Structure 1
Amino acid sequence: MDDIDRKILNLLQKDATLSTADIAESVGLSTTPCWRRIQILEQEGYITRRVALVDRNKVNVPLDVFVAIRTNEHNWKWLDEFAEIVCEFPEVVELYRMSGEIDYLMRVVVPDMAAYDIFYKSLIKKVQLTDVSSSFAMERIKYTTALPLDYALDDARSRRRKV
């Protein structure tokens, strides 16, 4: 990966609908070499998919709930079952296995607290949990799907971020 690849990825992270010609012009390439670079970035797994970001208010899921979960079950069978059950809920948009005091952290999006209560009751019917703690986001201050590319490796050599 070089600076041109990083520029291409930054542009695509901001707007995946940009034409190859527009990207090429922005990064100083002609269309064909730019298209080849994008194809290579996809083949090598740098670009995993292209999606549309939907306005959460227009689809009535403005509330973020961060759900911290603790369990006494620490085995693969339980984890597989838990992950399968949680992934069935469209309200769960992120799920992480954590280190520290909590075992799992979820981000759930719902219209309001009443909808979260329905979600919560459905979840605890399906899976045994030791402790569930929910925090409701009062305001979203920063949100992005764009990843920082300053840490991307140059030509298979690692480099530190320039300060």
Structure 2
Amino acid sequence: MDDIDRRILTVLQEDATLPVSELAKRVGLSTTPCWKRVQKLREDGVITKQVVLCDPAKMDLKLTVFVEIRTNRHNDAWLRKFAKIVRELPEIVDVYRMSGDVDYLLRVVVRDIEGYDAVYRKLIRAVEVFDVSSRFVMEKIKYSTALPLLGSDDDAA
């Protein structure tokens, strides 16, 4: 991936609805080479999908909760069961397996505390956990879906 690909991705991460002609203009290419680069980025799996981002507050999803899960079951069967349940609950939008004293970190987006309690109850009914700690977001200071795209000059730093 070169600097032009990075510029394409930077623009697309901000607005994937741009026509190829506008994208090409913004990155300093003509339309056809720009379109070919975008297609190659898709073929290579760099661009995995294009989505619509919604404002949670306007969808009455005003509560974000970070949930720390600790388990004393570190085996494949437990992990498969856990992965299945978290994938089935749409309110759980991110799940990470962690190092350190927390085994899993979940981001949950719901309407209110009752909505979170319903998710919590489904989760603990479906899979045995040692400890669940919840942290309620008071204020979102920064949120981005865009990945940092370091250029060749930045890679050496």
Q: Give TM-score, length-normalised by structure 2.
A: 0.96
Match of 1:145 in 2: 145
- Deviation string, structure 1 residues 111-136 (Cα, Å, up to 9, x no partner): 11121111111211111111000000
Alignment of 1:61-140 (within 5 A): 61-140=61-140
Amino acid at match of 1:161: D
Match of 1:23 in 2: 23
Amino acid at match of 2:82: F
Q: Distance in 1 between matches of 2:94 and 2:63?
A: 14
Amino acid at match of 1:87: R
- Deviation string, structure 1 residues 50-99 (Cα, Å, up to 9, x no partner): 00001111211121100000011000111011100111000000000000
Is there any run of 5+ residues in structure 1 with no aligned partner, and where?
A: none
SS in 1 for 2:146: coil
Bigger helix share: 2
Match of 1:5 in 2: 5
Q: Distance in 2 between matches of 1:31 and 1:43?
A: 18
Measured after TM superposition, the shift of residue 161 of structure 1 is: 2.9
Q: Distance in 2 between matches of 1:114 and 1:71?
A: 24
Match of 1:40 in 2: 40
Is there any run of 5+ residues in structure 2 with no aligned partner, and where?
A: none
Q: Distance in 1 between matches of 2:86 and 2:120?
A: 11
Measured after TM superposition, the shift of residue 6 of structure 1 is: 0.5
Q: 4+ residue runs of structure 1 moved beyond 4 angstroms? A: none
Q: Distance in 1 between matches of 2:10 and 2:154?
A: 19
Cα RMSD between the aligned structures? 1.3
SS in 2 for 1:140: coil
Q: Distance in 2 between matches of 1:12 and 1:62?
A: 27
Match of 1:161 in 2: 155
Q: Distance in 2 between matches of 1:133 and 1:10?
A: 36
Measured after TM superposition, the shift of residue 160 of structure 1 is: 5.3
Q: What number of residue pairs does the alignment pair up?
A: 157
Q: Distance in 2 between matches of 1:101 and 1:25?
A: 49
SS in 2 for 1:96: strand
